[in-house]
């Protein structure tokens, strides 16, 4: 799995960090997403898929 | 039923969970599923073309294996038979019916007889308003809620002369209370929006079928070349008359978002029992539609999960990004716990009876999200 994030689309909701904190974080100043792990381990797959599904700004792309 | 964020998310979640049966998504509009939050911002400002709001590419939609029946509004439901009727005369029967037809915008008396008066609910509404705004100088927005405030901000950004009128004494006070309401009111005033708050709009005035302004209860007349009516919306329940479902402030569901055997509701129109809060809740925001869809998909497949979210929404006005976790209410005590409104950077905490009910970040998204953990107790069932 390869994860990419679009910082321009990101609205800073932080939903991804709540669901998959090992893969996503937020910048302190504006809350924009930080990708911690662009090729997460298999144990993270379902969490990352859920994070991408609920992202209100559609800022998370997954290639599998 | 419903082809916006909620309906699409149910279909996608079912496929993700390996449901391989037939799926039909029926939508009133001719557009493929699109995203509404950008309508009052990027689309209205002209930064995005309409197509950019589409939630998925044609390819992705094709891969889902879903039959989309678009441009065909639902007209009736028999909940017991799980039979749906549509405007074009279709009759669809299913094992499970998901209701996700959203909201309809409220209108002012006489507005449909005047050109230049707009509501903003659909992509077509946004594009029509955009076309109108590029041709005029003076706009009046009626309604000081989140939609009216965002439209006023976007229109100011386009260089228009904007007046924001509404019943509330400060901008968004109904949703966010007076402290944030005052801060938002100052923000709009600072950016050059003329504010007429705490006064009812009494009538639209027109000449030759075209709007000329808004008459306020105070007697003042606000001249306008276009008027946006953003006085709220109601769940689109008309087509569910006679369905056998309980209809109150939305489609009444149990804590599992079930309205009847094999019938679920999702998104803006769903009123469900939040087990953590111990009361009924109905939320009008984008995040809720998609999160609720995950639970509904799980329950359709027999997982039996209650829906107990900590609600979340955001609004962008000018360069200010506001994040709201929980359910802030007018009656809550509001404390600034980080930053300061004067610095245009703060976190506000809402509490009722000693319980934290909401956290709001004003240009402090991450800090607000970290304080969200103080809401978990309030929103989790004992």
**CATH of region B5-103+234-300, choose from 3.40.50.2020, 3.50.50.60, 1.10.10.10, 3.40.50.10470:** 3.50.50.60
Same CATH fold assignment for domains B5-103+234-300 and B319-379 = no
Structural domains in chain A (count): 1
Predicted confidence (pLDDT) per residue in B62-101, tens digit: 999 999 999 999 999 999 999 999 999 999 999 999 999 9
Cβ count within 10 A of residue B55 = 18
Residues B234-251 have a mean pLDDT of 97
Separation in Å, CA of B344 to nearest CA in chain A:
12
Q: Which residues of B touch A (CB under 8 A)?
A: 9, 12-13, 16, 35, 37, 55, 286-287, 290-291, 294, 312, 314, 316, 321, 323, 361, 363-369, 372
Nearest-angstrom CA–CA distance, B121 and B200: 22
**Residue A46 Cα, gap to closest chain B Cα (Å):** 10
Q: Which two tokens stand for residue B124?
A: 């077509």
Break chain B into its structural domains and give their ranges: 5-103+234-300, 107-231, 319-379
Exposed, middle or buried, B375 (CB in 10 Å: 0-12/13-18/19+)? Answer: buried
Is residue B116 very low, low, confident or very high in pLDDT (cuts 50, 70, 90)?
Answer: very high
- The rounded percent of chain A whose pLDDT value lies above 90 is 72
pLDDT of residue A64: 87
Rounded CA gap, B170 and A36, in Å?
A: 41
Q: Supply the CATH number for residue A31's domain.
A: 3.30.70.20
CATH number of B107-231: 3.50.50.60
Quick one: fold of B319-379?
Enolase-like; domain 1 (3.30.390)
Q: What is the pLDDT of residues B189-201, one digit of tens each?
A: 999 999 999 999 9
Check if the beta carbon of residue B102 is closer than 8 Å to that of residue B288. no
| ipTM of predicted complex | 0.87
pTM: 0.95
Average pLDDT, chain B: 97
Domain of A48, in residue numbers? 2-63
């Amino acid at each position: 799995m390869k994860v990419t994030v679009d910082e321009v689309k990101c609205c800073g909701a932080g939903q991804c960090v709540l669901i998959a904190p090992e893969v996503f974080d937020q910048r302190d100043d504006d809350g924009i997403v930080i990708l911690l792990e662009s090729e997460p381990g298999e144990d993270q797959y379902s969490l990352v898929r859920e994070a991408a599904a609920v992202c209100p700004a559609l800022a998370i792309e997954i290639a599998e | 039923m419903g082809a916006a964020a909620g309906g699409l998310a149910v279909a996608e979640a079912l496929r993700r969970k390996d449901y391989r049966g037939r799926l039909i998504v029926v939508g009133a509009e001719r557009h493929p599923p699109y995203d509404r939050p950008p309508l009052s911002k990027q689309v209205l400002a002209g930064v995005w073309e309409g197509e950019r709001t589409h939630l998925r590419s044609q390819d992705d939609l094709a891969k889902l294996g879903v039959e989309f029946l678009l441009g065909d509004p639902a007209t009736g439901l028999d909940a017991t038979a799980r039979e749906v009727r549509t405007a074009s005369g279709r009759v669809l029967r299913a094992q499970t019916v998901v209701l996700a037809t959203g909201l309809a915008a409220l209108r002012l008396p006489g507005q449909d007889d005047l050109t230049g008066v707009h509501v903003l609910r659909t992509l077509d509404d946004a594009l029509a308003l955009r076309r109108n705004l590029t041709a005029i100088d003076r706009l009046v927005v009626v309604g000081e809620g989140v939609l009216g405030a965002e439209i006023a901000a976007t229109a100011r950004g386009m260089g228009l002369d904007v007046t924001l009128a509404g019943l509330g004494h400060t901008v968004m006070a109904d949703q966010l209370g007076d402290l944030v309401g005052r801060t938002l009111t100052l923000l709009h005033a600072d950016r050059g929006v003329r504010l007429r708050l705490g006064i009812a709009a009494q009538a639209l005035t027109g000449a030759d079928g075209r709007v000329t302004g808004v008459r306020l209860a105070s007697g003042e007349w606000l001249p306008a070349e276009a008027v946006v009516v953003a006085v709220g919306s109601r769940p689109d329940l008309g087509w569910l008359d006679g369905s056998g479902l309980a209809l109150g402030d939305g489609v009444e569901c149990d804590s599992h978002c079930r309205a009847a055997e094999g019938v679920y509701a999702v998104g803006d129109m769903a009123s469900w029992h939040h087990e953590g809060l111990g009361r009924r809740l109905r939320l009008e925001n984008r995040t809720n539609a998609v999160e609720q869809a995950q639970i509904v998909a799980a329950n359709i497949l027999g997982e039996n999960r209650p829906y107990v979210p900590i609600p979340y929404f955001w609004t962008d006005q000018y360069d200010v990004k506001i994040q709201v976790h929980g359910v802030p209410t007018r009656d809550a005590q509001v404390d600034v716990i980080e930053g300061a409104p004067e610095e245009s950077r703060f976190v506000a905490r809402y509490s009722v009876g000693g319980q934290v009910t909401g956290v709001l970040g004003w240009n402090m998204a991450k800090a607000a999200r970290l304080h969200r953990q103080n809401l978990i107790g309030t929103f989790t069932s004992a």
